[in-house]
Structure 1
Amino acid sequence: MFSNGRQKRITLSVILIFSVFIIIAALNRQQKTDTFNSVDDRISLLPIEANKLIQENNAFLVDVREWDEVKLGIAVSAIWMPLSKMKDQDKMFSQFLSILRLDRLVIVYCTDGKRAVEAQVELQKRGFQVVTMGGYSDWQKVGFPTTIPKNQSSKTEKH
């Protein structure tokens, strides 16, 4: 029916197409697994638990709110790293990553928890162990120390 050469080309084409489908399916499965693990791994600490880990020098506290929120107050022990700057090309984000250590837990907070979860996923992609801690108001309610940053230039410094 087909010449020998044409039959080989058809067979190779079918194998190639089949291989591409297998690769795409595997990549989609891996992406779903990564997303599931990120969601499954989410733990939220109470401010009391977070503060204990910070005082024992076992964790970094990171505020991921924007400057217009942080200028009204930030946890004294927090490092400020706004979620909007968590991009590979951003110099502030590079400086921030150089401060963190893979052997310490990273505790992130924002106002209501949504951005903290986004930051958690972003930092987990880079190999950090990350948990969330409610919001800034939760920290304030238990009476832990806060401060008003002097200016935006102290962005990634610990407060």
Structure 2
Amino acid sequence: MSFRHYLRRAPAVSAAEAVRLVADGALVVDVRRGFEWNRVHIPGAVHMPLEVLPARCLELPEDRLLITFCTGGLRSAGAANLLVEHGFDAVNMSRGLVDWRAAGGPLTS
């Protein structure tokens, strides 16, 4: 992925907003690496590591809001920008896993 995807500020939502959006049908796209996903992840999320997202993003649904997710929000910001450039309705969940936990979002291991 090009560095330019990290230079722009991606559309963002807080973790509390993300929890509500997921309840309304949004899909979380977890862009962390495999070992991070295996440790803990959001139930129902799609695991698509950032390294493969450019090649595999067309596998994602076009009719749902996509919420990109990572540990701290930096990788997912680049992912959200990439998805928006590909025509998806996508936002970045800022501050990632830390805030998701604090907002009461479910996790599974």
Bucket of the pairwise TM-score, normalised by the shorter protein: 0.7 to 0.9
1:69 and 2:36 aligned: yes
**Residue 28 of structure 1: aligned partner:** none
Identify which of 98, 102, 124 aligns with 2:59. 98
Deviation (angstroms), 1:53? 1.4
**Residue 121 of structure 1: aligned partner:** 81
**Percent pairwise identity:** 33
Deviation (angstroms), 1:87? 3.3
**TM-score, normalization: structure 2?**
0.81
Alignment coverage as a number of residue pairs: 103
Higher gyration radius (CA): 1
1:39 and 2:40 aligned: no
Distance 1:85 1:98, change over 3 A: closer
**Residue 155 of structure 1: aligned partner:** none
Contact map agreement 2:66 2:90 (CA 8 A) in 1 = yes
Range that drifts further, 62-71 or 103-112? 103-112
Q: Extract unaligned runs of 5+ from structure 2.
A: none
**TM-score, normalization: structure 1?**
0.58
**Residue 132 of structure 1: aligned partner:** 92
Tell me the distance in 1 between the aligned counterparts of 2:101 and 2:44.
13
Task: Extract structure 1 runs of 4+ deviating beyond 3 A.
Answer: none
Contact map agreement 1:75 1:136 (CA 8 A) in 2 = no
Tell me the distance in 1 between the aligned counterparts of 2:60 and 2:65.
13
Tell me which amino acid in the other structure corresponds to 1:63: D
**Residue 51 of structure 2: aligned partner:** 84
Superposed, 1:22-37 pairs within 5 Å as: none
Tell me the distance in 1 between the aligned counterparts of 2:53 and 2:29.
12
Contact map agreement 1:75 1:139 (CA 8 A) in 2 = no
Tell me the distance in 2 between the aligned counterparts of 1:60 and 1:122.
16
Identify which of 50, 54, 57 aligns with 2:22. 54
